[in-house]
Structure 1
């Protein structure tokens, strides 16, 4: 008697299933390729070009605005610095910062052949001496710059409106004749040269470059808004 052999189903997928998978895979590939083509087409489209141009234009405008603000700020600083320089040039200052007043204008006595022609500022030797106002150096040197040995090393500066300033008994001269100087600029160092009883700066305001035309410098500076 023969045995019945059970029917074994094949594990291989059916032809219809294989065909379905292939179709699905192909469809997916087609969709992906189609999407890529659509994106590429969109990038090259007029709308995309306008979007890119608009973005670039905004970026350029923003950069221009930032640069414009920076340029405006720099110009404002330049104008402020120029105005400050002009204002400083138009101002007057004391020739030394820290001092004690000693002999005053008009004093007389055995120390002077004539009445004292300036205001003395008692300061240590080597103190910075600054131009009281902007101008041009017309005298500078020993022998009072030409005004006589009593002044020692001296400088005379010509200012506007027929006004001159003189600085005497210096230990050092840092300017030369013909040089332009600004208010407060260092022109030399105080000393004890010439006919001097001790370290100090002798300061004059004159109507000419020469000795004999001096006026009291203290009230003159007061009128210029400078307290002494």
Structure 2
């Protein structure tokens, strides 16, 4: 999963990026509206945390431009203002959620998880696929009830596939959603991580769809 943080307060920007990284996200950051708009308009994100009071371009204007361009990623607005009229303006501009500063980081992370689940069609905090269960709240994976120890990249890959369970996901899409902007992206590494995952969970749960990509299955009994 990949997140974008657009926040001009350096300390808060750093804290948000660290919290999201600890929660298993690949994170890109921007400190002004101009850079934030460009990243959100050109890169695929699973969620965006967007401050309203930004230099160069304000957050509401950025969001309106994204939505006019049919950018559909979930966007959580941050603001130092807590007036109901500001919330209405933000939601009308296309925001999916709204959080006033100061806030608890755990609340933000809970809202992030909820938006990502909804965007992929899930309503519960636990996602199941055959014997595999992903607890999005704790970022833990179990197989037949037993914990599965994964590296950060393995977890991101499995989590993305499970959020999009039943759909064929291409290597290109996986690369775009698993790595931050500065990572040396190579689609061949996806095969390596898939191979590692298949050694830790039943191999038939992740299906290779020749020429197209990968798909999570329910296992050998899937029709």
- TM-score, normalised with respect to structure 2: 0.23
- TM-score, normalised with respect to structure 1: 0.23
Name the larger-Rg structure.
1
